């Protein structure tokens, strides 16, 4: 059977035009998707049943036992952490937040290791953005700053930007000017009309210089800024100001380099400034499939997109203090539930090492780098493969994941609901 218009759950592009051939409980073939999509959809590394660590290695246990133990661990904790959420659907995320409320936990999502700084910047200066179709149909200038979509978001250029045909941009490559800014010459840089190579950690200075040029104050700039010739910046500013519609996309090269959120803020303020001359937008290239969804769900329930601390009943937010990495690194946390993410692979060593010291439970379909850090792992469905649900694309467009095959596993939303209900029972008693 071939299922049309399938949504790929891998990255924040959430391409929804895949054709997937399934045979019973197996995905046989993926069409239209990139290699990452194919690997995601056809991969098979599922954990067969819940497992518990014992002195002699792992033992399989029942779902009932696993749920009971999870609830007990969380109820007993003084500083529990609920972390992850980016590879599942909104329905599970929402129950996760309600569990956090119940037990006075810190709840955080994978933004902490990707676009958390972008969120902090947006909270300072806002975000002039748009949906991706607006870029596809209008943009004649595209800027990729500190990101390499060719590798990380392989279809971003063909679906939305450089190679996409849009209503007002009928001949994509001819009609669009592409600017790539990075500290190294990436694959994406190869197709750029203009490549700006910045010294490591110099993004802030270059963005400040561009803002000054757009404000007509370029004359005070030195000859070279973070390794970039002033003349090139004048040229690029000119291209941007003459654009009919410009779109900046940025990635971890900007958010995770020296200055972090101030870099992003500077890029946003450059965009604001350009809007006094023409139309310009800026958008983070979000990584995990539904990480933006976790920001949205957290926000409408708690008021904050990530790093929410319910220790005192009310919701408190202060990244750097209430972020998962920080409460682990500081050794505050005394129990953790990890859902749909792999901190074992993405966290700094000190933070990951602390997970191994405390009772950590993982709800995830696969054996991952986090599995060895856990006391308990409970396998579940994988949103977008054997479970349906809501996901938010990197530009905020909500899309419904399809269920492609029948599952042998419980949906993580159901698991979480059972944990939630069990916690209420324990608390009531």
Partner 1 sequence: MRVILETKERKKPFLPIEAETIIPSNFLKGPELTVYEGNKERLLSDLFTIVVEGTAVSPDKVEVVLKGDTARIKRVGEYMATGTIRIQGDIGMHCGNFMSGGVIEIGGNADAWLGREMLGGSIICHGNAGHYCASGYRGEKHGMRGGRVEVMGNAGDFCSEYLTGGEVHIHGNCGDMAGVEMKGGQLIIEGDATRPCGNMKDGMCMIFGTVHRILPTFEKIDTKKLPDRNVTVTVYKGDVANRGKGTLMIQKPHNEGDQHPANTLPGPATT
Partner 2 sequence: MTELLVKNACVIDPLNRILMEVMDIPVRDGRIVESVSAGADIIDAKGCLTLPGGIDSHSHVCGTKVNFGRYMSPEDMRAGRTARRGKMHVTSGYYVPTTYGNSYRYSAMGYTTVLEGAMAPLEARHTHEEFTATPHQDMLANTLFDGNWAIMEAVRAKDVKKAAAIVAWTLSAVKGYSIKLTNPGGTEAWGWGEDVSSIHDAVPNFNVTPAEIITTMIEANELLHLPHSVHLHCNNLGKPGNYRTTLETFDLVPDTNNGRQTLYATHVQFHAYGGTTWRDISSKAEEIARAVNAKPQIVMDMGQIMFGRTMTMTADGPMEFNLYCLHHNKWSNHDVELETGSGIIPVLYSKKSLVNCVMWAIGLELALLTKNPFQCLLETDNPNGAPFVKYPEIIGLLMSKRYRDEECATLVDGTEQRTAICALDREMDWNEIAIMTRAGQAKALGIAAEGKGHFSKGAEADIAIYPIRCRDVDPATEYRKVIEAFRKTMYTIKRGRVVAREGDIIVEGANSTFWVNPVVPDDLNVANDPEFVKKFEEYYTVRMGNYPVQDVYLPRGKCIRTKAAL
With vertex at residue 213, the alpha carbon angle to CA 210 and CA 216, rounded to the nearest 5 degrees, is 155
Q: Are 82 and 56 in contact (CB under 8 A)?
A: no
| Residue 384 engages partner 1 in binding (rule: CB under 8 A) | no
Binding residue (CB under 8 A) for partner 2 from 213, 392, 417, 418: 392
Distance CA(75)–CA(70), nearest Å, equals 9
The kind and range of the H/E element at 294 are helix 291-302
Is position 271 an interface residue for partner 1 (rule: CB under 8 A)?
no
317 binds partner 1 (CB under 8 A): yes
To which H or E segment does residue 51 belong? Answer: strand 51-54
Q: Look up residue 315 and give its two tokens.
A: 């919701």
Say how far apart CA 161 and CA 178 lie, in whole Å: 9
Q: Write each residue from 220 to 249 as x if it is in contact with partner 1 (CB under 8 A), else as -, in one continuous string.
A: xxx--x------------------------
The reply on whether position 103 binds partner 1 by CB under 8 A is yes
Number of residues that bind partner 1 (CB under 8 A): 52
Q: Is 259 in the site for partner 1 (CB under 8 A)?
A: yes
Nearest to 362 by CA among 102, 99, 81: 81
User: Would you count residue 412 as binding partner 1 (CB under 8 A)?
Assistant: no
Binds 217: which of partner 1, partner 2, none (CB < 5-8 Å by kind): partner 1
Count of residues interacting with partner 2 (CB under 8 A) = 64
- In the complex, the smallest distance separating the C-beta of residue 245 from partner 2, rounded to whole angstroms, is 7
Q: Which does 285 bind (CB under 5 to 8 A by kind): partner 1, partner 2, none?
A: none
30 near partner 2, judged by CB under 8 A: no
Q: Is 288 an interacting residue with respect to partner 1 (CB under 8 A)?
A: no
Q: 312 is written with which tokens?
A: 């005192």
> Residue 227 binds what, of partner 2, partner 1, none (CB under 5 to 8 Å, by partner type)?
none
Distances 235 to 20, 152, 365, 391 between C-alpha atoms, Å: 45, 28, 50, 39
- Residues 6+ away with beta carbon under 8 Å from 154: 34, 35, 36
Which of the listed partners (partner 2, partner 1, none) does 251 bind, with a CB threshold of 5 to 8 Å by partner kind?
none
Comparing C-alpha atoms, which of 373, 296, 315, 381 is closest to residue 342? Answer: 373
Token digits of residue 278: 């023409």
Stretch in the footprint of partner 2 (CB under 8 A) among 75-83, 175-183, 344-352, 396-404: 396-404
Closest CA to 119 of 288, 307, 281: 307
- Residue 105 binds which one of partner 1, partner 2, none, with CB within 5 to 8 A depending on kind? partner 1
Closest CA to 335 of 92, 91, 69: 69
Where along the sequence are the contacts to partner 2 (CB under 8 A)?
4-5, 7, 16-17, 90, 94, 98, 101-102, 119, 122-134, 136-138, 159-160, 165-168, 244-245, 272, 275-276, 278-281, 295-296, 299-305, 310, 312-315, 317, 390, 392, 396-400
């Amino acid at each position: 059977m071939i299922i049309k218009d399938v949504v790929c759950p891998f990255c924040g592009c959430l391409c929804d035009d895949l054709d997937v051939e399934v045979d019973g409980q197996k995905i046989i073939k993926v069409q239209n998707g990139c290699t990452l999509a194919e690997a995601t959809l056809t991969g098979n590394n599922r954990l067969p049943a819940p497992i518990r660590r014992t002195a002699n290695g792992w033992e399989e246990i029942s779902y009932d036992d696993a749920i009971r133990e999870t609830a007990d661990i969380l109820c007993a904790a003084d500083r529990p952490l609920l972390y992850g959420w980016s590879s599942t659907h909104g329905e599970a995320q929402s129950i996760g937040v309600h569990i956090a409320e119940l037990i006075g936990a810190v709840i955080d999502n994978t933004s902490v290791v990707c676009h958390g700084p972008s969120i902090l910047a947006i909270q300072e200066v806002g975000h002039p953005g748009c949906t991706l179709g607006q870029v596809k149909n209008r943009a004649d200038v595209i800027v990729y700053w500190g990101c390499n979509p060719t590798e990380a978001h392989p279809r971003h250029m063909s679906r939305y930007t450089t190679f996409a045909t849009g209503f007002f941009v009928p001949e994509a490559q001819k009609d669009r000017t592409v600017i790539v800014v990075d500290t190294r010459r990436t694959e994406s840089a190869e197709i750029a009309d203009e490549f700006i190579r910045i010294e490591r950690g110099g993004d802030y200075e270059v963005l400040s210089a561009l803002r000054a040029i757009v404000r007509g104050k370029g004359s005070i700039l030195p000859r070279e800024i973070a390794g970039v010739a002033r003349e090139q910046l004048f040229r690029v500013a000119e291209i941007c100001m003459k654009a009919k519609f410009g779109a900046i996309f940025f990635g971890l090269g900007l958010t995770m380099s020296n200055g972090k959120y101030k870099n992003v803020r500077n890029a946003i303020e450059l965009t604001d400034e350009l809007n006094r001359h023409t139309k310009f937008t800026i958008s983070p290239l979000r990584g995990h499939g539904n990480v933006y969804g976790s920001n949205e769900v957290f926000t409408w329930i708690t008021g904050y997109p990530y790093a929410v601390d319910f220790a005192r009943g009310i919701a408190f937010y202060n990244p750097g203090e209430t972020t998962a990495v920080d409460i682990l690194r500081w050794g505050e946390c005394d129990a953790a539930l990890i859902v749909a993410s792999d901190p074992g692979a993405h966290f700094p060593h000190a933070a990951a090492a602390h997970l191994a010291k405390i009772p950590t439970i993982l709800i995830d379909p696969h054996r991952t780098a986090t599995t060895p850090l856990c006391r308990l792992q409970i396998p579940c469905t994988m949103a977008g493969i054997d479970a349906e649900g809501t996901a938010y694309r990197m530009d905020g467009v909500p899309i419904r994941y399809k269920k492609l095959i029948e599952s042998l596993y419980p949906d993580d939303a159901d698991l979480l609901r059972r944990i939630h209900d069990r916690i209420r029972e324990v608390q009531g008693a």
